[in-house]
Chain A
Amino acid sequence: MTHGDPNPPAPSGDGDESGRPAPGGRRVFTFASDFAAGRAVQNEILDEVRRNGYAGNCFFAINLALEEALTNAIRHGNRLDPNKKVHVEARVTPRRVEITVQDEGPGFDRKNIPDPTAEENLEKCSGRGILLIEAYMSSVKWDRGGRRLRMVKKNEPADGSAKA
């Protein structure tokens, strides 16, 4: 679906198909493995999340999980290869947010990711993104060999401290 452009999109985040509306109220984004482009998509989705009435802990959770999912796709999935794309779909309603993030990397097996909270791993500098996504979202699923992540967050009352 690219236009054969050998250069990655400019850091403005103007990736091809950025924010294209799709059937069912979904929005579809495709961008090169670039953190600035990822940030632009993240901000667009978060604006819509805000407009749909998410706030407090619920907004914090979606923001954090989306950040981690995009970072994982860009860094660990596509290994920062500018020729590989990240594909994101977001469906935001006042009741739930569903986000799918897919990379073009080799995939991974969730079971093989060591537990970062184990005593022996506490001092390791990476490996917490998946833990945070799973902790903060209502449901999380990997498929397509670990290349695609689908996560859902149900809305909670603003400032309700769900975990308190």
Chain B
Amino acid sequence: MAETIPPISVTRQKDVRIVEFTNNRILDEANIAEIGQTLASLIDEGDNPKLLLDFATVDHLSSAALGMLINANNRIREKNGQLRMTNIKPQILEVFVITKLNKLFRILPSRAEALASFT
């Protein structure tokens, strides 16, 4: 029987939750829904949530995944939280640029810079 690996793993550094994707494709509907739910529960844990999404493993995503990320971003803002993204590969970054979501999201080159950007 195939083991099901959760699509994201979460660690904590001080008050920041660091989310890593365990699958190189954030595409499948079920996968996206599960990631969305996990992010929502992280955001709802407390006030002023701080989330860092590390895209180091991500080689592919879809507009449905972008929708999920926007949803998380909106939810974080409602709770006066902060969202950062880092380690986005050039091909994926281009998707953010084409959709102009690089203006909506705070994207930083490295995890260290992203962590340092939280206020």
Interface residues of A (CB under 8 A from B): 35, 39, 57, 60, 63-64, 67-68, 71, 116-117, 122-129, 131-132, 135, 161, 163
Contact = CB atoms under 8 A, between A and B. Distances in A.
A149 B62 CA distance: 18
Contact of A163 (B63, B66, B94, B104): B94
B9 interface: no
24 contacts: A39-B28, A57-B91, A60-B91, A63-B60, A64-B62, A67-B62, A68-B62, A68-B63, A117-B100, A122-B103, A122-B104, A123-B73, A125-B68, A126-B67, A128-B63, A128-B66, A128-B99, A129-B63, A131-B63, A132-B63, A132-B95, A132-B98, A132-B99, A161-B90
B99 A67 contact: no
Q: Is the interface of B mostly helix, strand, loop or mixed?
A: helix
A116 B74 CA distance: 16
B37 interface: no
B113 interface: no
